Chains A and B, each alone.
Chain A
Amino acid sequence: MDLTTLALTEIRDLLRRKKASAAELVRAYLERIERVDQDVRSYLTLSPERALAQALHVDQAIAAGESLGPLAGVPTAVKDVILTRGVRTTCGSKMLERFIAPYDATAVVRLEAAGACVLGKTNCDEFAMGSSTENSGFHPTRNPHDLTRVPGGSSGGSAAAVAANLSAVSLGSDTGGSIRQPASFCGVVGMMGTYGRVSRFGLVAFASSLDHIGPFGRSVRDVAAVLKVIAGRDPNDSTSAEAAVPDYEAEIEKDVTGLRVGVPCEYFAGLAPEIGGNIQEGIDLLQKLGCRIVSVSLPHTNYAIACYYIIATAEASSNLARYDGVRYGLRAREYCDLREMYEKTRDAGFGAEVKRRIMLGTYVLSSGYYDAYYLKAQKVRSLLARDFTEAFKDVDVIVTPTSPVPAFKIGERANDPLQMYLADIYTVTADLVGIPGISVPCGRTQGDAAHGELSLPVGMQLFGRHFDESRLLRVAYAFEKAGGFGIS
């Protein structure tokens, strides 16, 4: 039996019936990583000792007949912008190449308390800034479906690891689509809860009003199980919400008949047929399942990218001021005064995209431009929120493509930042508005065998109301059960 392809329910069952041990599971994954990850390159750092120690702990609990946590023995990968005590956390940046966090992120504490075994830290765009994982300060990650293509980003390593069976589930972070877009590129499920649903304590800050931690998995049920574990109020994050956390694994079983699914015209105008065809089939399937398909309008959609890149870069320029070579991270070797130490440290530690975003953010916040850019973007953010408030009066969930394109070639977009930013068009709005979003597989592109073009995964995105993750997961699960992942 291949232990690296199991769903979480199968892992639970196996451990309870003592057909396999948690240590065997972890070892099977570590062996597969050893063999396969030299091609995919999803991990930056492995933590075998930590994973095996946790596995032994789980196996002892099983032997003693103790009750097991919901993620007992589940091999898990963690994006390298999420702190892990004693295991280096680089954020994909030379700035933090040797940074060892003195504490664990709350999400990691909760994963491990539930029995999960952390295999290692996954590659990402530097400080989560990018849509392809090419901006990693160390190496790019490759898409397991076509090694010449990107896995998406910024959580490309976490998405690729789950897709290539290099972890059962994983954690990513989403600021403008960084979970959902790589999930769609890699053919896995990726979810971002409502802003505040999952504690950000221990998530290295990129844009604090937009940052989320969320799960990747190979099925909706696996993602529901992880979200349940990591969600909930955390006194260490003042923006984490008090709202009660439902049992998502039970919620997904509920019927979807009569649910109203909104289709926003703005997300389909000009969409390439290779994506649009699959999404239309997905919508048809939802209708067959008893959902009511309703046209809605989100009239300010076209302004989301401009709004997002003003707010995200402004917040980033402020958050990344902390990397100055004083308290942690890189410090330049030679300097004659404090000012020069700052500048040389930041010059050596940051890559080009991080510098560009710090520059943009500093510009839009600078004297004389604040009202023209930042304040204006905050107002447009209100308009985007209003769009959704209006739409959710008529529908329960909204369905869109996750990305306007499938996985692109490594290097194809690297030199044109604006083109790269525009690829986030369908994902950024949910972050700005704070609503939950999920990307599920929705078939594949045709490919073109004659020209060596492989068939690539397509992702369908669902949005829900604030704190209504249950209904999102329910629709996603019904879609999966009805064969939606393998459409076309």
Chain B
Amino acid sequence: MSLTEKEVRYVAELAHLKLTEGEVREFLPQLDSVLEYMAKLNELDIKDVEPMAQVLAQGSADFAMRLDSARKTFSPDEALSNAPERGDDLFKVPRVIDRE
């Protein structure tokens, strides 16, 4: 096993996941076996291969472009209709900056 519990906790922190000790112990061997399987790609010589980010990248380059014109979109009420907490036309979150 090459993955460590410390790494699992570090990655969880990056991903804003709070894992229990039980989850860390459960995930460690599972993630490790998948990562080990992924290392299979090392068998290939890919030095001179171009990375492929998008299937359609080789198609016409400009079809993703459109005029930057104003369009009708959601009203504030629609945009906030699923908000866990709202105040007037705003999403409410816990205080981020202390007033000192």
A residues neighboring B (CB under 8 Å): 98-100, 102-103, 195-196, 209, 235, 238-239, 241-242, 300, 302-303, 305-307, 309-310, 317, 321, 324-331, 335-339, 341-344, 346-347, 350, 352, 355-356, 358-360, 362-364, 366, 373, 375-383, 385, 416-418, 421, 433-434
Contacts and interface: CB of A to CB of B under 8 A. Distances in A.
A347 B38 contact: no
Interface of B: 7-8, 11-12, 14-19, 23, 26-27, 30-31, 33-35, 37-44, 46, 49-56, 59-60, 63-64, 66, 74, 78-79, 81-85, 91, 93-96
A196 B41 CA distance: 28
B64 A239 contact: yes
Q: Is chain A's interface secondary structure helix, strand, loop, or mixed overall?
A: helix
B4 to A, nearest CB: 12
Given A303-B41, A355-B27, A376-B42, 16 more contacts: A235-B66, A239-B56, A239-B64, A241-B59, A303-B40, A307-B41, A317-B15, A327-B82, A327-B91, A359-B11, A359-B17, A359-B27, A360-B35, A363-B35, A376-B46, A383-B44
Given A241-B59, A328-B82, A363-B11, A373 B38 contact: yes
B85 to A, nearest CB: 7
A356 B51 contact: no
Contacts of B95: 337
Contact of A99 (B15, B50, B64, B82): B82
A343 B18 CA distance: 5
Contact of A418 (B33, B43, B85): B33
A380 B46 contact: yes
A380 B78 CA distance: 43
A210 to B, nearest CB: 9
Contacts of B42: 376
B27 A356 contact: yes
B93 A196 contact: no
B91 A326 contact: yes
A302 B41 CA distance: 10
